[in-house]
Amino acid sequence: MKFLAIIGVSLMIALGGGVASAANADKGAKVFKKCKACHSLKAGKKKVGPTLHGIFGSKAAKMKGFRYSKAMKKSGVTWDEATLDAFLIKPRKFMKGTKMGFAGLKKKKDRDNVIAYLMTIK
């Protein structure tokens, strides 16, 4: 029993350590495949959605020439880890009236990784 408990604890530490250092931009690039149909990463290039070039740290609805929803325009959001995370879980829940037709990323890891990836696109 005691032996099992020790294994259990060390497993928890190992897994916990993994989670703490989880965000991984390479994995995020794979997650981004889900966004690619609608989002370019090139400055100034829009698709169905606005470019996500330099999105991290930027204010919402900043791309010139993209017709954002009213909801996005008046959101006042600045895209950082917290707001991107909340938006990407369920875009329409976080921002009622957004035009982003995407169900969301349920897995925390996927969100962390894709955010880490977006941070590298400057």
> What is the nearest approach in angstroms of ligand HEC to the Cβ of residue 26?
16
The distance of closest approach from Cβ of residue 122 to ligand HEC in the complex, given in angstroms and rounded to an integer, is: 14
- Position 72, amino acid: M
C-alpha angle 94/96/102, rounded to 5°? 70
Shorter beta-carbon distance to ligand HEC: residue 7 or 30: 30
User: For residue 28, which of 121, 119, 120, 113 has the smallest C-alpha distance?
Assistant: 113
The Cα 52–Cα 115 span in angstroms is 11
Q: Which of residues 53-112 bind ligand HEC (CB under 6 A)?
A: 55, 60-63, 68-69, 71-72, 79, 88, 98-102, 105
Closest Cα to residue 115, out of 59, 60, 55?
A: 55
Residues that bind ligand HEC (CB under 6 A): 34-35, 37-39, 48-50, 52, 55, 60-63, 68-69, 71-72, 79, 88, 98-102, 105, 114
